[in-house]
Amino acid sequence: MKLSNRLQKIADFVPKNTIVGDIGCDHGYIPIYLAKNNISKKVIASDISKNSLEKTIENVKINNLEKDIEIRLGDGLDIVLPFEIDTVIIAGMGGLLIKDILDKNKTKTNTITHFILQPNIASKELREYLYENNFEIINEELAMEGDKFYEIIYAKKGKGFVTKDIYYEIGEKLIINENPLLKEFINYKINIVEGILIELKGVKTEKSIKRQEELNKNLMDLKEVLLEIESS
């Protein structure tokens, strides 16, 4: 089975020989990949939706991996015991939902060593949460599928901080590692902000003026990061 570009980059962050929980596994492709390639000691695949989990059950059966992958139905980290998993994958959901899953079971979260998180939206809010709650971002990756970018964050418990607010939006590790997709990713974000500014042009309500100020500041910060990359 060949993983998509996004799923492969998520799987590549999984340390060897750990016990992994894939929360919100849906199709179960990552647990299957990890088990088939002997990357993990054990994999627990879970989802809150019975329908989603049916896909995992079916795919695990097709691949004869019933002995290697434990399948559990339930909400977030409710389905694991403290210290039961070393690595958690929470991918393909909004950053706010990922943050809620980590925050809801703090005692369990605190017993996990490796966090592989892939927010579809609200990555800025997720990074803010991580930095404010004693996580350290160890590495980041970008994946592109179709015309969509995906940010993948590998974090551990620890102490981290950002030196500029824009690094909540653009992961600093992507800059340090000279990620090959970063320039394109920032230009994509710049285009979105410029598009909104064009739409708001001439709108003089108090709310719109405040929004335009925020967007102009964001645009400046994004362009500054672009300069930083181009000059390095």
Q: Is 76 in the site for ligand SAM (CB under 6 A)?
A: yes
Q: Kindly tell me which of 24 and 171 has the beta carbon lying closer to ligand SAM.
A: 24
Which one of the spans 91-99, 124-132, 136-144, 171-179 is the region binding ligand SAM (CB under 6 A)?
91-99
User: 159 with 20: CB under 8 angstroms?
Assistant: no
Between the alpha carbon of residue 120 and those of residues 44, 62, 136, 142, the distances in Å are 22, 29, 20, 12
**Which residues sit opposite 154 in a β-bridge?**
116, 139
From candidates 93, 142, 143, 225, binder to ligand SAM by CB under 6 A: 93
Q: Is 101 in the site for ligand SAM (CB under 6 A)?
A: yes
The helix (run of H) or strand (run of E) holding residue 134 is none
Q: Helix, strand, or coil here: 150?
A: strand
Q: Is 47 in the site for ligand SAM (CB under 6 A)?
A: yes
Q: Kindly tell me which of 14 and 222 has the beta carbon lying closer to ligand SAM.
A: 14
Q: Is 225 in the site for ligand SAM (CB under 6 A)?
A: no
Residue 112: name the closest of 130, 134, 88 by CA: 88
Site map 26..45 versus ligand SAM, x via CB under 6 A: x-------------------
Q: State the minimum distance, in angstroms, from the CB of residue 191 to ligand SAM.
A: 25
Q: Which long-range CB contacts under 8 A does 156-161 form with residues at least 24 apart?
A: 156/113, 156/114, 156/115, 157/110, 157/113, 158/134, 159/134, 160/130, 160/131, 160/135, 160/136, 161/131
Q: Is 52 in the site for ligand SAM (CB under 6 A)?
A: yes
What number of CA atoms fall less than 13 Å from residue 119's CA on the CB side? 24
Q: Is 50 exposed, middle or buried (0-12, 13-18, 19+ CB in 10 A)?
A: exposed
Q: State the minimum distance, in angstroms, from the CB of residue 16 to ligand SAM.
A: 21
Which one of the spans 93-101, 109-117, 184-192, 218-226 is the region binding ligand SAM (CB under 6 A)?
93-101
Which one of the spans 18-26, 162-170, 178-186, 224-232 is the region binding ligand SAM (CB under 6 A)?
18-26
Number of residues engaging ligand SAM in binding (CB under 6 A): 15
User: 103 with 78: CB under 8 angstroms?
Assistant: no
Q: Is 138 in the site for ligand SAM (CB under 6 A)?
A: no
Q: Would you tell me which residues interact with ligand SAM (CB under 6 A)?
A: 23-26, 47-49, 52, 75-76, 91-93, 97, 101
